[in-house]
Structure 1
Amino acid sequence: MSISQDKLKQLAQDWISIDPNPTTSKEIKDLLDNEEYAKLSSKLYPRIAFGTAGLRSSMESGFAHMNDVTVLQASQGLVEFLKSKFDNPSIVVGYDHRYHSQRYGELLASVALLKGFTVYYLGSVKNLSKESIELSQSKYENDNNASRDYVHTPLVPFAIDTLKASGGVMITASHNPANDNGYKVYYNNGCQIIPPIDSDISDSIEHNLKPWNDQVWNITGNFTKGLEDGRLKVVRDEIIEQYVSGVKEKLLKHNELNFKFVYTPMHGVGLDTFAKCMKLFNKSDYTVVPEQAHPDPAFPTVSFPNPEEKGALDLAIKLANEDKISLVIANDPDADRFSCAVVDKNGKYKQLTGNEIGFLFAMYIIENTPRLDLSNTYLLNSTVSSQILKSMANKDGFHYLDTLTGFKWIGNKAIDLTNEGYKVPFAFEEAIGFMFDLIHDKDGVSAAIVFLQLYQQWFSSGKVNVFDKLEEGYKKYGWFKDLNGYYRLNDLSLTNKIFKNIRESYSPKEYPIAIGDFKVITWRDLTVGYDSTTSNTKPILPIDPHNQMITAILEPIEKSNKDKDLSVRFTCRGSGTEPKIKIYVEGKSTISESDAINIADKCWETLKKEWFKPKEYGLQEMKP
């Protein structure tokens, strides 16, 4: 995206006039004085976009990144928006251990206090961040060894529900690299924001780009006054206590665990709350990976702090192997995701996929739900996750729905269904996100607690292992095997070009009759707004012309009679946060696992040849 030098110079001057940090202000000034316009452009343009995920970017100077200025601007816009919607507005503020997370949380709390909000603070007021102290020249003492009162992300939506707040923000970049941070926004229903709220907040930010006054930067003064008049309420300990009580009341079915396991919080913030939840069990025997036990924003033992990444669980598995422990469980750094590895029949540790974990959870929930309640029960997942829930619903008599990707959609749909009188005890997404009837968002800690009980119920005796249970489920519901990967792009504009060429390949028809050796059974294009399965061809899921997303079910043109239910489902979509086209393929067979695997692989190769043509487009194929 290009910008004129005159416009760039103006943006640089705007930054210098706003930024209170002498280091980053000088950085932009030096680039301007030295006429380093390419570097200036990368820092200042385009402005960091506010969307349904809030903000997320690398932490560096400039309007295009996460820093004091862009966090202040977002906070002013969010606070003005909430003030326009609620008579006595309140906000929950939490942060994790990443670099500058506490500072960003303090900025938001300061802005909200200036506008008369009640601020439910999940952080520390005993020790402000070093940045706030230096810029405020405060008398507050800063002890670098003191606890910063970090919280795991799901405590923010939990606190919104518990305290009936107008909204909330969690400062985190989840499992992104160490130099990233984010600003995750929730509304008063305890769920991530969805359209049109995101665009309304974005508009409000655009109208509040200049600091209201010098007081917005005076963290210590605003905090002191907030404590004195009672509008700054430090509620972390209270909320964690209520969270643990909620886990006990809603999710605890077994009060004893008689097996050992290894746990890693991946250098993140999960251990504190996880350990408190573990006290609910009369007996528990677990080991925490010592090198990854405590919050460390540098993530020194992992290349990427994401349990899904290859090698991320190596230390945990090594420790489990040394101690002959068969189960490893993990949270990502902000503990809203959950993963696990178990010993297979060959004695090797195997990390389960998100779909496999979701399937186990779903079977566990249904087995423990009274049969009479199933007709009033919904299980949900995203459209890129396994459709095995649909097969389960057809056989077991509960209801199933899929949503767009992201727990903002899953959570809001669960709220809608609950308001209609249904129960929604579980939902999941293949990217190791799991939601139970406690919070309307994914939660890695509650998922870990439920999984341990699942393990106790089915596997603690040693008579059955995880893969036996999965096999039992596949025999009942069909084999569903996923093959999820992506194509990396060098040029973001390629996404729209590729999807344009795909649609032109079957135009003027609404969808192709066949793709390679597959015939098309169903077709849904949420970009153009077409769904072959509805009576009026209008999708039930929201249409978004700005995002590319096609889903289809295919069957082999030539198919043996032995498996009448051999099919494959795929979704192709442009990533909203990375230069990728993501591909989700799931093969289905009622005969064998190998048939499901083979048809998924054939679908991937067909789409590669017919649509994505990596050599022609210069794409990097990342096939699992």
Structure 2
Amino acid sequence: MNELRAAAEDWLTQDPDPATRAELRALLDADDEPALADRFATRLEFGTAGLRGELGAGPNRMNRVTVLRAAAGLTTRLLTETPTFDSPAPGANGSGAIDSGTSGAGSSGGAGRPLGVVIGFDARHGSERFALDTAAVVTGAGLRAWVMPRPLPTPVLAFAVRHLGAAAGVMVTASHNPPRDNGYKVYWGDGAQILAPLDAEISAAIDAVGRVDALPLGGPGDWTVLDDGIVDAYLEALDALAGLPVDGPGDLSVVYTPMHGVGLDVFLRAFERAGFPAPAVVAEQAEPDPDFPTVAFPNPEEPGAMDLALALAARRDADLVIANDPDADRCAVAVPTSEGWRTLTGDEVGGLLGEHVLRHTHGDDRLAVTTIVSSSLLGRVAEAYGVRFAESLTGFKWIMKARTSPGDRQVFGYEEALGYSVGGDDGVPVRDKDGIGAALAVAALAAEAKRDGRTLLDLLDDQARRFGLHATGALSVRVEDRALITDAMARLRRSPPTALGGRTVTHVDDLALGSDTLPPTDGLRLHLSGADGRARVVIRPSGTEPKLKCYLEVVLPANDDLAAVRSRATASLDAIRTDLAKALRLS
């Protein structure tokens, strides 16, 4: 307890936030050892996803001290960097256009220009303050900083990194996490999320930071606050997406929810530019609210999260429902059926958007990418269109690094967790998942279908007949002790199941060994065969939660009786899931 108290007292003396100082003083006065241990016995780990955690005092929480230290570690690493980007040298006026101005000292990218960091933030508790603290550290270290004009979607920040020629970007967001959380997402100068070894290098630099009250800090006059020109530039880039301008009816009826996040204004402007009618917006979820009062979790994948949008769509007899998560990097889609509204899976939307992009783009150098846990359908679609295809590890940080050759031009990437990066003939404008761009592409595809008297469900049927029915599902097991997951993975490697759901396991890939196309990762991929088609299971520990996650796919040949084929696929997935749960021995 003495060590915990000493660490907490030291924290108090350098914490600039009166709210977290009061929280910590109350815990010290109460001698609350469990609460102090929870905050000071460990710390938030900086990794490829940056930082994410609960708000509060101490190194195991998101707070101003944690953010100041993270910003200082990032700038330390940046000061060793020599820019090699194709974009113009850093420097921007308030509109987001490149200029030739310079400021500060520090490491420079040629012609005396300092390295720059562009900083964005969402509407969560503390986000703007964390962004301004980051700008203060960056400019205090002699680097240039641009700060977004207001809370904006994550894809706008990711776009801005390359647009401004920045050396790095920071987005303060916890995406679709619960209200009590916030996070710190780092991009490098290529506009993509960081990968190893950068994460370890930044983490080591953070560890070496001393007291934050001794850091040199810039003031508001030392950084550039961008104006809406940066949003205009992002929207102009979306104008070039595949399938735009819209070739279809102008009466497409869309219901939209930003889910209490920051997507509404940018979404509406994007839709207007593309020629779509203004969508009906879920009023209860239209404005940013960091408490997310109408949903248990602000994640469109969660049961009930889209209920208000679906109810509004039913009242309006809409053609389509689109939902973004709070930072608008994910996109969920729902469509009407004869039995009510159905939310499409991420893999269904990925297959539809993949073909949409490939149908509207040109060139032998095009590349489509998805992850090892997503459906294999995109590979079949790419083959049919003569387009290069690659699989990556899970997450957009990997999707954006995937290549089959140096000349690849990525036009599409997606992951099953509702993340899509949609491009055009110039490639993808955002090198991360982009819920606004994906929404435009979905609406364009739906408008084309409506023009032809068809729906997205009809297009899914078309794909099933041409490529086989690719049905996907999942199994997730949460544990209290992460060691149980380690033991389960070791047991499966020693003795993998020989059959699942009545299908024979024909081959097992140990993903920890890596391959010519994939770096090593802790996971197993099981290939299964049966009399009526093939199947696949990917098993991996979650990188953020104490969960073992399993991704299932069954591929069946399709005929005119698609309802019967889908019923068989559902039964097959259920049988595999039941046997797999027994094989994991975690419940």
| Alignment TM-score, normalising by the size of structure 1 | 0.83
1:551-570 aligned within 5 A: 551-556=525-530, 559=531, 563=532, 566-570=533-537
**Distance in 2 between residues matched to 1:32 and 1:282, nearest whole Å:** 59
SS in 2 for 1:385: coil
Aligned to 2:52: 56
- CA gap 1:45/1:113 in 2 versus in 1, 3 angstroms: same
Equivalences for residues 26-175 of structure 1 within 5 A: 26-86=22-82, 87=108, 88-123=114-149, 149-175=150-176
Moved more, 263-272 or 278-287: 278-287
1:445-467 deviation digits (Å, cap 9, x = unpaired): 01111111111111245x21221
Q: Do the aligned partners of 1:524 and 1:539 also contact (CA within 8 Å) in 2?
A: no
Residue aligning to 1:606 = 579
Q: For residues 403 and 236 of structure 1, do their structure 2 counterparts lie closer, same or farther at Cα, with a shift above 3 Å needed?
A: farther
Q: For the Cα contact (< 8 Å) 1:377–1:398, is it kept in 2?
A: yes
Q: Does 1:280 align with 2:276?
A: no
Alignment correspondent of 2:524: 550
Aligned partner of 1:337: which letter? R
For the Cα contact (< 8 Å) 1:341–1:352, is it kept in 2? yes
CA distance in 2, matches of 1:581, 1:245: 41
Using a 3 Å threshold, how does the CA distance of structure 1 residues 223 and 285 change in structure 2: closer, same or farther?
closer
Residue 429 of structure 2 corresponds to residue 438 of structure 1: yes
Is the CA contact 2:268–2:278 (under 8 Å) kept in the aligned structure 1?
no
Q: Does 1:387 pair with 2:387?
A: no
Residues 1:27 and 1:244: Cα distance change in structure 2 (over 3 Å):
closer
Among candidates 227, 231, 234, match of residue 240 of structure 1: 231
Q: Counterpart in 1 of 2:259?
A: 266
Separation of aligned partners in 2, 1:568 and 1:334: 34
Structure 2 SS opposite 1:342: strand
Aligned counterparts of 1:318 and 1:517: Cα–Cα separation in 2? 40
Q: Which residue of 2 aligns with 1:13?
A: 9
What does residue 187 of structure 2 align with? Answer: 186
Residue 585 of structure 2 aligns to which amino acid in structure 1?
Answer: F
Say which of 350, 360, 366 aligns to 2:342.
Answer: 350
Structure 1 CA distance for aligned equivalents of residues 274 and 518 of structure 2: 41
Residue type of the alignment partner of 2:484: L
Residue 585 (structure 1) aligned with residue 570 (structure 2): no
Q: Give the secondary-structure state (helix, strand or coil) at the position aligned to 2:80.
A: helix
The alpha-carbon deviation at position 206 of structure 1 amounts to: 0.5
Structure 1 stretches of 5 or more lacking a match?
124-148, 227-231, 507-511, 531-537, 615-624
1:484 to 460, 474, 484: 474
For 1:422, the aligned partner's letter is: D
SS of residue in 1 equivalent to 2:239: helix
Residues 526-563 of structure 1, C-alpha deviations (whole Å, 9 max, x = no match): 23x16xxxxxxx4631114xxx311121113xx3xxx3
- Identify which of 308, 325, 337 aligns with 2:330: 337
| Residue 514 of structure 1, CA deviation | 5.0
| Distance across 2 between alignment mates of 1:165 and 1:450 | 28
Pair 1:540-2:507 in alignment: no
Q: TM-score, normalised by structure 2?
A: 0.89
Q: Is the 8 A contact 2:252 2:276 kept in 1?
A: no
Unaligned stretches of 5+ in structure 2? 83-107, 109-113, 423-427, 559-564
Contact kept, 8 Å, 1:57 with 1:66, in 2: the verdict is: yes
Say if 2:323 and 2:331, in contact at 8 Å, map to a contact too.
Answer: yes
Post-superposition shift, 1:605? 1.4
Partner of residue 464, structure 1: 454
| Contact 2:120 2:147 (C-alpha < 8 Å) held by counterparts | yes
Regions of 4+ moved over 6 Å? none
Post-superposition offset of 1:213: 2.0
What SS class does the counterpart of residue 201 from structure 1 fall into? helix
Q: Deviations over 1:113-151 (max 9, x none)?
A: 11111111113xxxxxxxxxxxxxxxxxxxxxxxxx111
C-alpha separation in 2, matches of 1:76 and 1:445: 32
Instruction: Tell whether the 8 Å contact from 1:380 to 1:402 is kept in structure 2 after alignment.
Output: yes
Distance 1:203 1:214 in 2: 17
What corresponds to 2:314 in structure 1?
321
Is the Cα–Cα contact under 8 Å of residues 170 and 184 in structure 1 kept in the other structure?
Answer: yes
Name the SS for the 1:484 alignment partner. strand
Change (3 A) 1:250 1:613: closer
CA offsets 1:556-576 (integer angstroms, 9 cap, x no match): 3xx3xxx3xx11111111111
8 Å contact from structure 1 (residues 568, 599) kept in 2: no
Q: Distance in 1 between matches of 2:22 and 2:586?
A: 46
The CA deviation string for residues 54-101 of structure 1, in whole angstroms up to 9 with x for no partner, is 000010111101001111111110111111214221000000100000
283 and 605 in structure 1: CA distance in 2 versus 1, 3 angstrom threshold: closer
Aligned residue number for residue 568 of structure 2: 595
Distance in 1, matches of 2:297 and 2:340, equals 23
Residue 401 (structure 1) aligns with: 390
Q: 2:412·2:420 contact (CA, 8 Å) conserved in 1?
A: yes
Structure 2 Cα separation of the partners of residues 494 and 335 of structure 1: 35
Is contact 2:421-2:431 (8 Å) kept?
yes
Moved more, 282-291 or 515-524: 515-524
**Cα distance change of structure 1 residues 111 and 393 upon mapping to structure 2, 3 Å threshold:** same
From the superposition, tell whether residues 209 and 386 of structure 1 become closer, same or farther in structure 2 (CA, over 3 Å).
farther
Describe the shift of the 1:210–1:459 C-alpha distance in structure 2 as closer, same or farther (beyond 3 A). Answer: same
Q: How does 1:181-260 map to 2 (within 5 A)?
A: 181-211=182-212, 213=214, 216=217, 222-224=219-221, 226=222, 232-251=223-242, 252-254=244-246, 257-260=250-253
Alpha-carbon deviations, 1:261-313, whole Å to 9, x = none?
Answer: 11111111001111211221345142111111111111111111111111111
Question: Equivalents in 2 of 1:369, 1:34: separation in Å?
Answer: 64
Which letter does structure 2 place at the counterpart of 1:244? L
Contact 2:477-2:586 at 8 Å conserved across structures = no
Taking only the aligned residue pairs, the percentage that are identical comes to 36
